[in-house]
Amino acid sequence: MPSQPDLFLEFLNQFEGKQDTIRHFQAPARINIIGEHVDYLGGIVLPAAIDFSIECLIRPKDNNSIILYSSDFDRKTEIKRPFQNSKEDPWSDYIAGVIHELESLGHSIPGFEMLIKGNIPQGAGLSSSAALEVLVGYSLSTVFQIDLTRPEIAVIGQKAENNFVGMKCGIMDQFVIANGKKDHCLSLNTDSLEFNYHHFDLGENEFYLVNSNVKHSLKDSEYNTRRQECESALAKIKRIDPKITNLYSFSLDKSEWKQFDFTEDETKRVIHVTTERERTKSIIRTLSSGNYAEVGKFLYECHWSLSQNFEVSCEETDEIVRLLQNRGALGARMIGGGFGGCVLVLDKIANFFKTSVELEKSYQQKFGYPVKFYKFKISDGVKEIIHS
């Protein structure tokens, strides 16, 4: 990331004028410890914000025009109402989508200039899109004095992604990016949006990320199909038991599933969701007791369920997890939407050097391109950076 004066200089190079009304905001990326592919089914998730981030500088304008500059793509664009999806600048859709959602709630958004720059690897499963949505929702509501809570900003970000970008994501990413807290993960009930912070100290262990460098685009992936498969399974359950309102609360023994007439795919999806619920309960319990060998065991179970039952992994992330498991790392699993992206690893800090060298070598040999390792810190959610 450039130092702050460089960022302001870049803004003035693009937009000219004076520096004194420019404000600076930052939103983090996220990891998810457990609770994968359940946040659109009313499930419990356990994410945390991390110190990769996206930043913006914003300055209100006298007229109604909205001019955006992406430093990463070196592209400047004006977005005009009624907003349309942009072929040339798809990154601007996340911003237009958030403005559209704010306006449909009755808030008026005057003109502004905005510079955006980030270091969240894109397509790596670390939620660069949700970070941009929350960044825009938070900065616009702060600058234009719109009274919104952090959970409300998260919901606006999710709606922008569902309605404008067309990716039917759940609420987890936007919620933790809006509400994250340094050194804590949060357990979020995605049905009620109630949440609790959990402090955890890994002691001699650490979490780190391995990027498979297989870029996923959730917009074009099977993500929306998985959601539909879960919805059709729920519809079949409801026909027999209308009291079940979400798939996550479905807890009938498998021997009784025959009556629902699930397809083979629906059966596999339901197995993932119901077993993930039990793993999540166990991890929330064991994380606070400091039994990291046990936490790690559930991470591996989660991965293989995502791979075999939910079918959102890929050969490359499976291989990374297999190699880590064979080497005796405490735990590992793909995170986020899947179809590539990052693997979250839990292991002893002392093991990192040897493990990473070996993993790098065998992955390169097998696939012909490298993995990338990221260390990170658990950080706060979206915030304004005040310059004195």
Q: How far is the CB of 338 from ligand GLA (least distance, A)?
A: 7
Q: How far is the CB of 126 from ligand GLA (least distance, A)?
A: 9
| Residue pair 78/15 in contact by the 8 Å Cβ criterion | no
Q: Which is closer to ligand GLA, CB of 24 or CB of 226?
A: 226
Q: How far is the CB of 33 from ligand GLA (least distance, A)?
A: 11
Q: How many angstroms separate the CA atoms of 66 and 81, rounded?
A: 10
Q: How many angstroms separate the CA atoms of 260 and 162, rounded?
A: 29
191 is catalytic: no
| Interface contacts to ligand GLA, rule CB under 6 A | 36-37, 39-40, 127, 169-170, 172-173, 336-337
Q: How many angstroms separate the CA atoms of 14 and 105, rounded?
A: 31
> How many CB atoms sit inside 10 A of residue 351's CB?
17
| Residue pair 29/127 in contact by the 8 Å Cβ criterion | yes
Given the residues 39, 173, 318, 347, the one annotated as active site: 173
DSSP state of 378: B
Establish how many alpha carbons lie within 13 A of residue 287's alpha carbon, considering only the half-sphere containing its beta carbon: 25
Q: What are phi and psi of 378, to 5 degrees?
A: -75, 125
Three-state DSSP at 277 gives: helix
Q: How far is the CB of 100 from ligand GLA (least distance, A)?
A: 19
Q: Which is closer to ligand GLA, CB of 122 or CB of 356?
A: 122
Q: Which is closer to ligand GLA, CB of 34 or CB of 143?
A: 34
For the record, the structure tokens of 116 come out as 């955006």
Q: Which is closer to ligand GLA, CB of 114 or CB of 273?
A: 273
Q: Which is closer to ligand GLA, CB of 77 or CB of 309?
A: 309
For the record, the structure tokens of 216 come out as 């996923």
Among 70, 61, 64, which residue's Cα sits nearest to residue 113?
A: 61
For 230, residues 6+ apart whose C-beta sits below 8 A from its C-beta are 40, 41, 247, 269, 270, 273
Q: How many angstroms separate the CA atoms of 71 and 1, rounded?
A: 11
Q: Which is closer to ligand GLA, CB of 157 or CB of 331?
A: 157
Q: How far is the CB of 170 from ligand GLA (least distance, A)?
A: 3
Q: How far is the CB of 277 from ligand GLA (least distance, A)?
A: 13
> How many CB atoms sit inside 10 A of residue 122's CB?
14
List the catalytic residues: 173
